[in-house]
Amino acid sequence: MEARTHIALVTIPVISHQVSILEFAKTLVNLYKNIFHVTCIIPTISNSLSISSKPFFDTLPSNIQCIYLPPTNFEDIIRNEVVLESQVQISVTRSMPLVRETLRSIISTSSNNMVALIVDAFAHEAHEFAKELNILSYTYFPCSAMVLSMCLYSSKLDETITCEYKDHPQPIEIPGCISVNGTDLPDSVQERTNVAYKLFLHRSKQLRLADGIIINTFLEMESKALKAISQNGILYGTTPNVYPIGPIIQTRTTIQKNKSKCLLWLDNQPPNSVLFISFGSGGTLSQDQINELALGLEFSNYKFLWVNVKPPNNKATATYLSNEEVDPLHFLPLGFLQRTRGQGLVMCDWAPQVEVLKHNAVGAFLTHCGWNSILESIMHGVSMIAWPLFAEQRSNAALVTNSLKIALRAKCNSKGIVEKEEVANLIKGVMEGLESEEIRRRVKKLQKFANCAMMEDGSSMKTLSMLALKWMGLGRPIEN
């Protein structure tokens, strides 16, 4: 009987986080075949997987097992209308007794060989269970090193800045990173008297509890931030070792019949001619913003593929933890679909994003700046229009526009709306002209670094191998 080295994961009920940590697990088990077994414990908020996420879980390798916990009740949290990060944090916290029980059940089996627990940053309470079980614990940080630096530095910022961050007159310095406007810090820090801010500070402090922080970025892209985190103990206090193992992106998508429509459409378009538009798994726009975006696409005269369109809502995260089913196409401007029939394709369905981005017809990506989407765009050398909506997405937008310079950023009017003229100008700017050529050159260069990092002798694979060998050394030998 084989006693494979066992790694346990604890993720959160947000599909982007689940995909990231499970793709990390797939990379590990594929790199060391027949050595590792991974169990992923998943808190849930409903009794079933969404249609868009089910194909991903169905294609996981046999040595990755998922355990879905019973749904937690957090309806009272939604009624309080706290920000998304706090909804997730509180719902995960309520799942912790079940996480502990599940871990104890796994480790009690005679054949178990568990050596490490890796938990999402929002599931930091689970580090305590690793200590109880006498195994190593790691935080999996599915965001940028810039955001990690900001989190680790948050206590210092809290001491030195007395006003609301959004009202700070100067850009705020983050060690190893570009300075950012206070309005570009995550949603959870925008109201310092709010429960969300207190949870953010607490979660950031808990990053120090782990034996290490595994982060989905790569050295060649964020070397200054990673260096600052590892060397600036005076700024941060005691910080665990940080292991950049990215870019980890979704490597395989099962394309259902209704999802192949967009790829077939792309097959009939000229190279680099299409703007791909997606606001992620939960992002929503107001009715006014839907109108302006649609009209801007139409006026630009550029081809476009707009997927995962949702009904309007004034709250950007309205559908993130919801399964409400309404036909969003009814909310598009009157006659828009007819007028743009030869110009674009609009879909309510979730598209196979990785396959779309690698398609040679795609010339640019209008994205909400979720970290997974940014990494996927970089891995496929696609320029971006940054249109952040919530959470840390504005920080990501600042990184890709002001630091990496691989994107143009949408500018809002005084009412927070990106007007149709701005939309059309952005599209033109990223699709043609000298500026677009410079952006494309930079993203293609970064693409080469990203792919090199994931090669056998690349920076990220060396880091992952170092971790894997350490875990293998802690496990029992495989029995014949």
Q: Is there a contact between 316 and 388 (Cβ–Cβ < 8 Å)?
A: no
Q: Where are the beta strands (DSSP E) in 311-360?
A: 344-346
Task: Return phi, psi of residue 43, to 5°.
Answer: -60, 145
Q: Which positions ≥6 away from 234 have C-beta within 8 Å?
A: none
Strand partners, 278: 367
Residue listed under structure tokens 């801007």 = 296
Measure the CA–CA gap between 99 and 94, rounded to whole angstroms. Answer: 10
In terms of Cα–Cα distance, which of 366, 434, 431, 357 is closest to 400?
A: 366
Q: For residue 293, what are its two tokens? A: 């975006």
Q: Is there a contact between 372 and 393 (Cβ–Cβ < 8 Å)?
A: no
Q: Which helix (DSSP H) or strand (DSSP E) does residue 40 occupy?
A: strand 36-44
Residue listed under structure tokens 């509180």 = 90
Measure the CA–CA gap between 261 and 267, rounded to whole angstroms. Answer: 10
Measure the CA–CA gap between 365 and 131, rounded to whole angstroms. Answer: 43
Catalytic residues: 17, 120
Task: Return phi, psi of residue 83, to 5°.
Answer: -65, 160
